[in-house]
Amino acid sequence: MNLIDTFSEFKELKNIDRATMMSVLEDVFRNLLLKNYGTDENFDIIINPDKGDLEIWRNREVVRDEDLEDKNLQIPLSEAKQIDDDYEVGEEVTDEVKFLDFGRRSILTLRQNLASRILELEKDNIYNNYKDKIGEIVLGEVYQIWKKEILLLDDEGNELIMPKNEQIPSDFFRKGETVRAVVIRVEVKNNSPLIIVSRTSPVFLERLFELEVPEIFDGVITIKKIVRSPGERAKVAVESYDERIDPVGACVGMKGSRIHGIVRELKNENIDVINFTSNVQLYITRALNPAKISSIEVRDEEGKADVYLKPEEVSLAIGKGGQNIKLASQLTGYEIDVYREKPEGEEDVNLSEFTDEIEGWIIDELKKIGCDTARSVLELSVEDLEKRTDLEVETINEILNIFKSEFE
């Protein structure tokens, strides 16, 4: 019978405990009894989850034939005696109610109700299960690839969504491939759980470090902060509670053995691991690695820091596309401005002094690449300036002539 099929499906469900299963089954059958008989109080439902079946027994009081008022709660003496000749008025008769007694339509309704309750339970279970997994790494197999997101299936067939902005720009997935990501949120959409996973979240990088570095997993080393430009660069500030352990060395591993797996997983993302310190100047110096800093002026009340470097170190401090300085600012919480260190005895002129001769947008272009004085621009070749700015060669030559004439 179809009903038993549904029962078996229910029995096979994952993550549904026996008590919940029996309670839902009984609830669905009691609703049916209520609809058919007006009450379910005189029925006993016996569920056998191991066999995948159930029995319904009805209890009725024996009354004299002429006193019969409610066929559901009472049974006439003549009918009771057909079951057993020893029955007397006032006694209770218990007889089994067969599924077929309900009629085909009722059984169909019951099956639909049961299927609907099963689906609800499954959705609730997936939601609650993944709600507890927020911040954990999960594995999923690529099932569908769309323009704005990809659909993964976990090992139980649950759907996980990875939007485009949660994918590392150089990620390239094929159908059937296994992907690692971190659960970042669980929502309910159209009455179904929507599980969002990410590979760009700093939490993903943090979990990868926990997997690769036992000292982090054990809590001997703490990750203080992670900032990322996914697929390009990341900065990780770490601190050790054991003076004998070098946190940076432990995270990188012998010949980079520990960090190598993380870098590979993140599509060759460049990871700078630095020692956390509450000394702001030292922290900013470490955060701007690999650039070598000459001096720093910290303005705590404004949350700003002016960093002075030798001319050849400026581009390192700024980094490709301004990435290094941007991440250093995010890591330390200070707005960092980079300045060239002026060689002793050599005069220089700030670019803002040339606003009469050079258009504002051109000066902004030069400042974007770390040039804030006339000499800092003159130190770069025409080719360099053309490559690193949006300026035409003609414009570059004009401004170089203006700067040169300033010092002649």
Q: Would you say 184 and 166 are in contact if contact means Cβ atoms under 8 Å apart?
A: yes
Whether residue 93 lies inside any domain: the answer is yes
Whether residue 243 lies inside any domain: the answer is no
Place of tokens 């036992």: 214
Cis upstream peptide for 290 (omega within 30°): yes
- In degrees, rounded to 5, the angle at the alpha carbon of residue 28 between the alpha carbons of residues 27 and 30 is 65
In 132-241, alpha helices (H): 202-212, 214-217
281 and 187 fall within a common domain: no
Cβ atoms within 10 A of the Cβ of 206, count? 17
Cβ atoms within 10 A of the Cβ of 346, count? 8
- First vs last C-alpha separation in the chain: 101
Whether residue 161 lies inside any domain: the answer is yes
Place of tokens 């299936």: 153
Distance CA 85, CA 257 (A): 86
Q: What pLDDT does residue 1 have?
A: 40
Q: What pLDDT does residue 142 have?
A: 96
DSSP H or E stretch at residue 327: helix 323-332
286 and 325 fall within a common domain: yes
Mean pLDDT, the chain, as a whole number?
86
How, if at all, do strands 137-145 and 178-189 pair?
antiparallel
Q: Would you say 179 and 160 are in contact if contact means Cβ atoms under 8 Å apart?
A: no
Whether residue 207 lies inside any domain: the answer is no
**CATH number for 283:** 3.30.300.20
Whether residue 281 lies inside any domain: the answer is yes
Q: What pLDDT does residue 346 have?
A: 63
3-state secondary structure of 259: helix
24 and 120 fall within a common domain: yes
Whether residue 244 lies inside any domain: the answer is no
Number of domains the chain contains: 4
**Residue range(s) defining the domain that contains residue 297:** 277-340
Determine whether 277 is exposed, middle or buried from the number of CB atoms within 10 Å of its CB (0-12, 13-18, 19+). middle
| pLDDT tens digits, 342-357 | 655 567 788 888 888 8
Mean pLDDT, residues 92-97 taken together: 83
Question: Taking the model in full, what pTM does it have?
Answer: 0.67
Among 22-26, 240-244, 339-343, 361-365, the least confident range? 339-343
- Residue where one domain finishes, among candidates 312, 340, 368: 340
User: Is the predicted pLDDT of residue 153 greater than 90, yes or no?
Assistant: yes
145 and 39 fall within a common domain: no
| pLDDT tens digits, 163-185 | 999 999 999 999 999 999 999 99
- Residue where one domain finishes, among candidates 129, 146, 176: 129
**CATH number for 32:** 3.30.1480
**CATH number for 190:** 2.40.50.140
Strand runs labelled E in 291-404: 293-299, 304-309, 335-340
Q: What pLDDT does residue 5 have?
A: 53
Position with higher pLDDT, 244 vs 46: 244
Distance CA 13, CA 157 (A): 13
- b/e per residue, 165-179, with b = 16+ CB within 10 A? ebbbeebeeeeeeeb
- Residue where one domain finishes, among candidates 300, 320, 340: 340
Position with higher pLDDT, 66 vs 207: 207
| pLDDT over 70, % of the chain | 93
Mean pLDDT, residues 238-251 taken together: 92
| pLDDT tens digits, 318-375 | 988 889 999 999 999 999 998 887 655 567 788 888 888 888 899 888 888 888 888 8
Amino acid at 215: E
187 and 297 fall within a common domain: no
Q: What pLDDT does residue 2 have?
A: 42
